[in-house]
Structures are given as C-alpha cells and as structure tokens.
C-alpha cells in the first residue's frame, strides 16, 4: 500500500506534500522509517572498518534525515492544526520515537565507536564545525545514558517514555482549557470601553459559536489581551483574569498539577541517574550560562538593578488608578487597563491608535523589505508548494542574485486546532547530504486577529514586534550555511537562540524602518514621525515592572529544576513562595501560571527560560553597533549574517558573538535600552 510519506518529496522544492497526507499515513510511515534507520545504524556500528569521523560521526548525522522530516511534519501539525484523532495518534507515535532514540543512545557498540573518534580528535583534520559535531555527538550519548549499566538504561527508558507522555498530556490539557472557556456578553453596555474593532471580532466569534446577537470573548491572545486592556467593567475583567490565571489548576480533569509534580520528579531522577545534581545542571552543561549558579547570579543581578524601578512603576500606576476612581488596591486584573490609560496620557499613544497603521499584509511586506535592505533577500509568493490550511502562505526566498535560499511558510490566525502563542518551526533544515545542498523549509506560526467584515487584520504594536521576533528566528533558519543539519539554523545553544529573533524587534522602533510598511489602512498615510517618537519613548514605560515579570518566570523555572521534588507539595503554594521576592502586585489565592507554563512543561525551555533575558543582553549590545553604524548598514548586516545567522551552532556562541562584535557583550546595554540606567 503506497504511503506518500515514504516517497521522495517531489515538486519544484521537494516540499512536504500536505494536501496528499492522510492521518493514517503517519504511524506506518514512522514505523517503516524507524526500521530502515535502524538497519542503517546497524550497518554503521557493525562495519569492519575502524571508526572514523566520516564513517561513524558523519554517517550517524545523515542516517535519520527522512525520519526527522516526517516526524517533524507530524508534530508541527499537531501544534498548528490538530484534532482529537491526531492527539490520540501523538500519544502512540511519541513513545515510539522516544524508545527508538533510547535504542540509539543506549547502544554500547555505537557509543564505543563515537567515543574512540572523540578520544582521538587530534588524528583527524577537522574544522571548527566538524569538532562541534563530534563534541555534540559524544555529549548527546553521555547525556542520554550511554555510560549506564543495563539496569540503569532500562530505568532511563522508563523515565523518557513517561516524560514524553506527560508532556503531551500537559499540552493537550492546556489547549482544551483555552478552547473550553467563553465569556458570553448579552448586554452591550457591558462592552463599555472596548473598541469597535474588538467588539466586531467578538460578535463574529459569537456567530461562529451559534450565539448570534451576543459577544463572545475567549482566552486566546487576540481576544483576551484587548478585553483586559479596554473593558471598563472591573468585575468582568476579574472574571476573565481568574479564568486565565487558574488554567489547569482547578482540580478537574484538565488539572495539570499532578502532571507538573511528576514531570519535575522524573527530570530530577533522570538527571541524578546520569550523574548530575539536578535537571538544571544537566541542561546547562551545553549552554552559554554553563551552570545554575551562574544563571541565578544573572537573575539576581538584574533583579537587584530593576526591583526598585518595578516598585516605583506599580506605585505610579496605583496613584493614577486612585485618581481615576479606583478606591481599592490595584490588582492584577487592573494592570493592563490602567497602564494602557496612563501610557496614553503620558505619551499620547495607545494600542487602538496604532493599529490602523499596521495592517497585517503591510507588516508582512515590511519584514520582507527590512530583510532585503539588510541581507538582500527577496520573498516571492508561490503556489508550487502545498499548504496544510487555507490560511497558510508559502514564499520562495531568493538572494540578491536570484538564487534559491529556502521556503518560508506563514500561518497567522487562531483556530480551534492551533495552540496559543507564536513560534518558528522547521520542516527541513539546511544541510549538505552526499555532496548536495538541501535548502531549508521554515515556518512561523502566530495567533493574530482575523480580518473582520469591515476591517483587515490590524496588529497591535506588540503583535508587530512578535512578527519581527519570529521572523528573526526564520532568518536564522533560512540563511543557514553549514554542512550538518543538527548544527544548522536555530540548532544552537538554547540561551543563544533568541539573539536573532530579539534583535529584529529593534527595527520596529525606527522611523526609517517603519516608513517601509507602516501606513494607515484607510488613508495610506505613513506613520507620523512624532508618533514614532512617542512609541520609542513609551517603550520604556513600566520597564521595571516588565523586567521583574520576565525575571520571575525565569526564577520559577530554575526553582522547579533545582529543588528537591519532594519540596513541591502544592504547585500553587510553591509558585507563590518562589515568586514572593519579585511579586509586585497582590497575589490572588488559587491562581498561578504553572498550570499552563507550556514553555517549561511542554516546550524546550525547562531550566532555560532565563535565556530570553540572557539573549536580550546579547541583542541590546549587538544592536548598539547597528545604531552606531546605521540601522541598515550593509557592512554590519553582512557581519551579523556571516558570523551569527549563517553559522548556526557550528562554533561556540561566545566565539561567534565575539567575531561579530569584537568583544563579549556588556550587560549594561539592556539596562540603557530599558531606561534603567543612564544612556
């Protein structure tokens, strides 16, 4: 029986044949590819020739290419276009892949071949990229239990299978909780303060849910954030906040608390089994930060320099809210509402004032124009590659000379089968296989407001920065120029991966860049210079509070992954205790972020959430060079492309950064940018 996933992908780009893939294709395809890959690995480990870099390390790098692509398609769609049957299938496929991965990394014969090459590195003529591949290959085996005895290997397999299952369950529960909640409003007076565009979107949501004549708000980002920002009814804001902040913490069948406790126990025991003090020590062995102690020192240093400003921000907002008639203490459900008003009053700028200048289509053209000015890239819409949903578009990316760079997929609107948030992902990494280069296929997935009957999709300024952020990740993937897939694009140390994404956000604050795309969707007038200046000035608004908020997430993450798991008796209580020193608003009993903290319990940020701030230090320091030389300076952009974007994980990130900047980054750059110290 034919299976499209087992055939060589054909067509102009050898792209994923989304239109032809059936749900029932995945499991047999992955089973077949596992079997084929296993045979190839057996041939590598049992060959008569002595182990060498080429016949063992490079051979292992290439052996699972098709399996990685097919499983990548499945899990990418399970995040962007899932359903009950696909989630059920994920619960079957995920353990299969985990078991196969364990079979590889717990194979002593294979490990001994890798180890022999690693221990005799000086016998081979290896460049920096080769050495990084060898080091990563060896360390991956060590970190996955290659040195364990048979009983310990069996235990590791059990840990990994259960962790895989629990991570999937956590994500499914979080998505189900978001999809489950609706705030239905029947009285239009309750919508006081909410802009017409948001009302229209809520009315269309109601219509989709067979509640015509009403307004429905959900916990999806494009609905939740505007509601909390503009709704004048404090009780409704409180209701919405509590719905969001008790996600998966209610003690019902979607509760994630026991899953969290089990995940941190398994990660801790797994790390101990492998010889590490805890999961954070295990994770940070191949990070720029290197150790939990250094991460905690980093968090504490920024906390010390930001806490007082954060307290001043909240005190200022409390005083403003009192002036506006709030007699009670400022609560979490008040923050977005009053801060938006104060921001508008201080800087004469607000989200709704800016949105008309940022139609989504213009913003997409904007990221393309910025990429062309910086890196000479051209993005041409193509219909020669298939898509998995009508909302998805595909672009053929070319360089200045018209040479194919890669495929770029965009998927921008929320739907029931898509998880919340925004992310970049890969369908095929750049690599050189048997002497032939394969160019990358990269995607960004977001949850922006859909067009309505009367308006195009209009982005808030925060959404514009999100678009640029994810596009930065995409550029990292698209411009990859190495030999090995596992070192290409965003396959870098985790605390380095956010540099290309976060640096791109800086162009959103520059008139020279905004003039390329920011124009009123009705009048076509470019965004006024004085409005851009107000955006820049307002970017430091509540910067102390926002710094503390991000640091609190990082602190909680590190606490979960350094603590003795038995100390986490109660998830909500543990979170409250850990965040007490950074808490700037009164904590509300029964609320917490842990239940839906997908970054660390579903995604790859466990013991790594600090990397957002770590990378912000890098990006602020790097962007100061662009500011000094000119934001579209070709020489600076070329250096950033050659030393950062093209190199992926081919060398240690600090070495790459120094090649670009000429020195190590300075922490003060982020404090200057945020206005926390004098520029």
CA distances from 73 to 4, 25, 169, 308, 441 (A): 13, 12, 20, 47, 11
Pairing, β 441-445 against β 404-411:
parallel
Residue 167 or residue 352, greater confidence: 167
User: Of the listed 352, 470, 505, 651, which one is catalytic?
Assistant: 470
- Alpha-carbon dihedral angle through residues 306, 311, 312, 316, given to the nearest 10 degrees: 140
Asked whether 178 and 243 are in contact (CB, 8 A), the reply is no
Rounded CA-CA distance 210/653 in Å is 52
User: What is the model's pLDDT at position 352?
Assistant: 86
- Containing 395, the helix (H) or strand (E) segment is strand 393-398
Pairing, β 441-445 against β 423-428:
antiparallel
Rounded CA-CA distance 465/470 in Å is 9
pLDDT in tens, 76-99: 999 999 999 999 999 999 999 999
User: What is the model's pLDDT at position 351?
Assistant: 82
Rounded CA-CA distance 457/181 in Å is 24
Query: In the beta sheet, which residues pair with residue 458?
Result: 359
Rounded CA-CA distance 168/91 in Å is 7
User: What is the model's pLDDT at position 10?
Assistant: 78
- Containing 433, the helix (H) or strand (E) segment is strand 431-433
Helices 26-46, 65-80: inter-axial angle, 10-degree rounding = 150
pLDDT in tens, 243-268: 999 999 999 999 999 999 999 999 99
Q: Quickly count: other Cβ atoms within 10 Å of residue 371's Cβ.
A: 24
The distance from CA 190 to its chain's CA centroid, rounded to whole angstroms, is 35
Residue 11: pLDDT over 80: no
**Tokens, residue 391:** 């909302």
Angle in degrees, CA 468, 469, 472, rounded to 5: 85
Residue 207 neighbours by CB under 8 Å, 6+ apart: none
Query: In the beta sheet, which residues pair with residue 393?
Result: 410
> Would you list the DSSP string of 111-130?
HHHHHHHHHTGGGS---HHH
Mean per-residue pLDDT, 196-211: 95
Confidence band of 527 (pLDDT split at 50, 70, 90): very high
pLDDT in tens, 226-242: 999 999 999 999 999 99
pLDDT in tens, 590-610: 999 999 999 999 988 999 999
Confidence band of 293 (pLDDT split at 50, 70, 90): very high
Asked whether 506 and 626 are in contact (CB, 8 A), the reply is yes
Confidence band of 458 (pLDDT split at 50, 70, 90): very high
Domains of the chain: 4-105+107-147 (1.20.1050.40), 181-245 (no CATH)
Greatest CA span in the chain, whole angstroms?
82
Closest CA relative to residue 574, chosen from 549, 594, 554, 588:
594
Q: Is 678 a catalytic residue?
A: no
The distance from CA 435 to its chain's CA centroid, rounded to whole angstroms, is 32
Mean per-residue pLDDT, 523-552: 95
Asked whether 619 and 625 are in contact (CB, 8 A), the reply is no
Confidence band of 1 (pLDDT split at 50, 70, 90): low
Mean per-residue pLDDT, 427-451: 95
Mean per-residue pLDDT, 466-495: 97
pLDDT in tens, 141-172: 999 999 999 999 999 999 999 999 999 999 99
Collapsing DSSP to helix, strand or coil, 679 comes out as coil
Residue 74: pLDDT over 80: yes
Closest CA relative to residue 567, chosen from 296, 264, 127, 314:
264
Mean per-residue pLDDT, 455-464: 95
Asked whether 615 and 498 are in contact (CB, 8 A), the reply is yes
The distance from CA 119 to its chain's CA centroid, rounded to whole angstroms, is 36
Rounded CA-CA distance 385/391 in Å is 14
User: What is the model's pLDDT at position 233?
Assistant: 97
Residue 350: pLDDT over 90: no
> Would you list the DSSP string of 473-510?
HHHHHHT---S-GGGSTT-S-TTTTTHHHHHHGGGGG-
pLDDT in tens, 566-594: 999 999 999 999 999 999 999 999 999 99
User: What is the model's pLDDT at position 572?
Assistant: 97
**Mean model confidence pLDDT for the chain:** 95
pLDDT in tens, 299-311: 999 999 999 999 9
Residue 29: pLDDT over 90: yes
Mean per-residue pLDDT, 654-672: 95
Confidence band of 565 (pLDDT split at 50, 70, 90): very high
Query: In the beta sheet, which residues pair with residue 432?
Result: 437
> Would you list the DSSP string of 259-327?
HHHHHHHHHHHHHHHTT-SSHHHHHHTTSSS-SHHHHHHHHHHHHHHHHHHHHHHHHHHHHHHHHTT--
Sheet holding 441-445, edge to edge: 378-381, 393-398, 404-411, 441-445, 423-428
**Tokens, residue 605:** 């940020």
Q: Quickly count: other Cβ atoms within 10 Å of residue 492's Cβ.
A: 24
> Would you list the DSSP string of 54-102?
IIIIIHHHHHTHHHHHHHHHHHHHHHHS--HHHHHHHHHHHHHHHHHHH
Residue 420: pLDDT over 90: no
Residue 121: pLDDT over 90: yes
> Would you list the DSSP string of 171-240?
HHHHHHHHHH--EEE--GGGGTT--HHHHHHHHHHHHHTT-TTSEEE-SSHHHHHHHHHH---HHHHHHH
Confidence band of 137 (pLDDT split at 50, 70, 90): very high
Backbone angles phi, psi at 154, to 5 degrees: -60, -40
Task: Give the residue carrying structure tokens 């290309």.
Answer: 500
User: What is the model's pLDDT at position 166?
Assistant: 96
The distance from CA 465 to its chain's CA centroid, rounded to whole angstroms, is 14
Backbone angles phi, psi at 330, to 5 degrees: -65, 125
Residue 679: pLDDT over 80: no
Angle in degrees, CA 69, 72, 75, rounded to 5: 155
Rounded CA-CA distance 500/444 in Å is 14
Mean per-residue pLDDT, 30-38: 97
- Rounded percentage of the chain residues whose pLDDT exceeds 70: 100
Rounded CA-CA distance 34/39 in Å is 9
User: What is the model's pLDDT at position 375?
Assistant: 98
Asked whether 38 and 32 are in contact (CB, 8 A), the reply is no
CA distances from 607 to 36, 274, 603, 652 (A): 35, 17, 11, 20
Residue 4: pLDDT over 80: yes
């Amino acid at each position: 029986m034919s299976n499209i996933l087992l055939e060589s992908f054909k067509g102009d780009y050898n792209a994923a044949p989304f239109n032809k893939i059936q749900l029932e294709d995945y499991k047999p395809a992955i089973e077949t590819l596992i079997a084929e890959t296993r045979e190839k690995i057996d041939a590598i480990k049992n060959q008569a020739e002595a182990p060498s870099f080429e016949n063992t390390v490079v051979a292992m790098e290439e052996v699972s290419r098709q399996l990685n692509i097919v499983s990548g398609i499945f899990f990418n769609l399970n995040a962007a276009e899932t359903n009950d049957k696909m989630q059920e299938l994920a619960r079957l496929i995920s353990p299969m892949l985990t078991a196969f991965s364990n079979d590889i990394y717990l194979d002593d014969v294979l490990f001994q071949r890798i180890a022999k090459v690693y221990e005799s590195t000086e016998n081979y003529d290896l460049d920096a990229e080769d050495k990084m591949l060898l080091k990563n290959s060896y360390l991956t085996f060590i970190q996955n239990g290659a040195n364990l005895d048979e009983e310990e290997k069996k235990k590791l397999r059990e840990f990994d299978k259960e962790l895989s299952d629990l991570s999937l369950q956590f994500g499914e529960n979080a998505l189900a909780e978001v999809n489950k909640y609706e705030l239905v409003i029947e009285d239009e007076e309750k919508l006081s303060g909410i802009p017409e565009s948001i009302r229209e979107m809520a009315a269309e949501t109601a219509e989709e849910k067979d509640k015509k004549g009403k307004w429905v708000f959900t916990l999806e980002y494009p609905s939740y954030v505007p509601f909390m920002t503009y709704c004048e009814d404090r009780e409704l804001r409180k209701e919405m906040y509590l719905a969001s902040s008790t996600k998966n913490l209610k003690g019902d069948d979607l509760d994630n608390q026991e899953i969290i406790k089990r995940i941190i126990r398994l990660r801790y025991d797994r790390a101990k089994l492998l010889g590490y003090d805890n999961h954070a020590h295990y994770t940070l062995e191949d990070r720029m930060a290197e150790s939990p102690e250094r991460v905690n020192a980093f968090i504490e240093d920024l906390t010390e320099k930001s806490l007082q400003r954060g307290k001043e921000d909240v005190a200022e907002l409390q005083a403003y809210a009192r002036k506006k008639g709030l007699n009670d203490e400022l609560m979490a459900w008040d923050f977005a509402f009053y801060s938006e008003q104060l921001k508008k009053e201080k800087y004469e700028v607000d989200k709704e004032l800016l949105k008309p200048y940022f139609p989504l289509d213009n913003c997409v053209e904007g990221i393309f124009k910025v990429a062309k000015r910086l890196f000479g890239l051209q993005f041409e819409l193509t219909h020669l590659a298939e898509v998995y949903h009508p909302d998805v578009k595909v672009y053929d990316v070319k360089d200045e000379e018209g040479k194919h760079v890669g495929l770029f997929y965009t998927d921008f609107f929320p739907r029931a089968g898509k998880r919340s948030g925004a992310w970049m992902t890969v369908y095929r990494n750049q690599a050189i296989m048997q002497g032939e280069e394969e160019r990358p296929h990269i995607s960004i997935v977001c949850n922006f407001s859909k067009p309505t009957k009367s308006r195009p999709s209009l982005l808030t300024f925060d959404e514009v920065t999100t678009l640029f952020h994810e596009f930065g990740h995409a550029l990292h993937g698209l411009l990859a120029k190495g030999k090995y897939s596992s070192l290409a694009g965003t396959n870098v140390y985790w605390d380095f991966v956010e540099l290309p994404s976060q640096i791109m956000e800086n162009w959103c604050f520059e008139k020279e860049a905004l003039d390329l795309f920011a124009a009123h969707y009705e009048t076509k007038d470019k965004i006024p210079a004085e409005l851009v200046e107000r955006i820049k000035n307002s970017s430091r608004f509540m910067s102390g509070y926002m710094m503390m908020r991000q640091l609190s997430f990082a602190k909680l993450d590190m606490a979960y992954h350094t603590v003795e798991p038995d100390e986490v008796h109660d998830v909500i209580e543990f979170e409250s205790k850990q965040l007490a020193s950074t808490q700037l608003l009164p904590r509300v009993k029964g609320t917490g972020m842990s239940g839906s903290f997908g970054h660390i319990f579903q995604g790859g940020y466990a013991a790594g959430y600090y990397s957002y701030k770590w990378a912000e230090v890098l990006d602020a320091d790097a962007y100061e060079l662009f500011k000094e030389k000119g934001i579209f300076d070709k020489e600076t952009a070329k250096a950033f492309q050659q030393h950062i974007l093209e190199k992926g994980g081919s060398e240690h990130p600090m070495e790459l950064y120094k090649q670009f900047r000429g020195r190590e980054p300075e922490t003060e750059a982020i404090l200057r940018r945020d206005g926390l110290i004098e520029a």
